[in-house]
Amino acid sequence: MYLTKEVKAEIFAKHGGKAENTGSAEGQIALFTHRITHLTEHLKKNRHDFNTERSLVLLVGKRRALLDYLKKTEINRYREIIKVLGIRK
């Protein structure tokens, strides 16, 4: 499995403040970004996997909604997470 408890804890510790802070917007965005990159690599090899493609589109939408929320409420945190993760917008 590509996403173990340790990997999740590391992502949340790096972007969410601490490993137990799983509800922070930055931590969730970082987790979604990790999953999006994994699914993108999978789809490069398996072009006709339409279920994964749909999951990827839904995940990108969730991340976009969180980014929009962060942009509306705290623009500095939004700019920081965009810069750290290298997300285009």
| Residue spans per domain, the chain | 5-85
At 60 the pLDDT is 97
CB atoms within 10 A of CB 24: 16
Q: To 5 degrees, how large is the angle CA 41–CA 61–CA 32?
A: 50
Alpha carbon separation from 45 to 38, 39, 41, 61, 70 (Å, rounded): 11, 10, 7, 23, 33
Query: With 0-12 CB in 10 A as exposed, 13-18 as middle and 19+ as buried, what is 44?
Result: exposed
SS3 36: helix
What is the per-residue pLDDT across 43-73, written as a single tens digit (0 to 9) for each? 999 999 999 999 999 999 999 999 999 999 9
CA torsion sign for 2, 88, 83, 86 is positive
Predicted TM-score of the model (pTM): 0.91
- CATH topology (fold) of 5-85: Helix Hairpins (1.10.287)
